[in-house]
Amino acid sequence: MTTSGEPATLRERKKLRTRQALAETAIELFGEHGFDTTPLDALLDAVEVSRRTFFRNYRSKEDVALTAVKQLWSDFLVTLDGTEKSGSLVDVFRDALLTTLDHMDDAWYERFPATLRLIDRSASLNGHSLRHCAEIQTEAAHRLGDPRDLELRMLIEFCVATWRCALDEWLPDCAPGELPGHVRRAFSAMNDSLLLRA
């Protein structure tokens, strides 16, 4: 599910391999020496790829570091397309998210927490990550109704915010099996949080 169908031609397979090598090595290197303090050249030397080629595959240094996050949301939108929209939209969003998480493979569950830690430690990555979330939100709005509807946009903002809070809870241990539980708990807390009093 996380990786779409086989690339037919050898050329495409090779290209995909370098893409994956870049993404995986990026997480390793940045996790080891820090994102901001690791020059892009270190990654290029490690994977033995020229700068020109890198920038044909990824838009920026941040882009390659956020591969796991982008994979999740890309798959999420696919899941959303494939699910029947009925009942509470919050539930639709939450269930699509849980379904997507369920379909992720082990490799992803290894790289995703590492990516979260990188995001937490780098201001630049944080900004790029938040911006990507915002882009996904407008995509989700198109799939769930009229993207010009204020209440719909707010609902999606709330759902994504809830997801981020669930991640915050998960981040310390990052046990793969516990993520769905955190997501359910956070989504259950949505209504109560609005009722909080001083």
Residues that bind DNA in the complex, under the rule CB under 7 A: 9-12, 14-15, 18, 38-41, 48-53, 55-57, 59-62
Contact between 95 and a copy of itself by CB under 8 A: the answer reads no
Is 192 an interacting residue with respect to a copy of itself (CB under 8 A)?
yes
Minimum CB separation of residue 8 from DNA in Å reads 8
Concatenating the DSSP letter of every residue in 115-160 gives: HHHHHHH-HHHHHHHHHHHHHHHHHHHHHHS-TT-HHHHHHHHHHH
Partner that binds at residue 9, options DNA, a copy of itself, none, CB closer than 5 to 8 Å by kind: DNA
Q: Which of 162, 167, 179, 183 binds a copy of itself (CB under 8 A)?
A: 162
* Shortest Cβ 23–DNA spacing (Å): 14
* Nearest CA among 133, 187, 137 for reference residue 162: 187
Q: Which of 150, 172, 173, 177 forms a contact with a copy of itself (CB under 8 A)?
A: 150
Q: Write out the two tokens for 60.
A: 């920026």
Residue number, 130 or 175, with CB nearest to a copy of itself: 130
User: How long is the chain?
Assistant: 198
- DSSP per-residue letters across 20-79: HHHHHHHHHHHHHH-TTTS-HHHHHHHHT--HHHHHHH-SSHHHHHTHHHHHHHHHHHHH
**Interacting residues with a copy of itself (CB under 8 A):** 85-90, 92, 123, 126-128, 130-131, 134, 144-145, 150-155, 157-158, 161-162, 164-165, 168-169, 185-186, 189-198
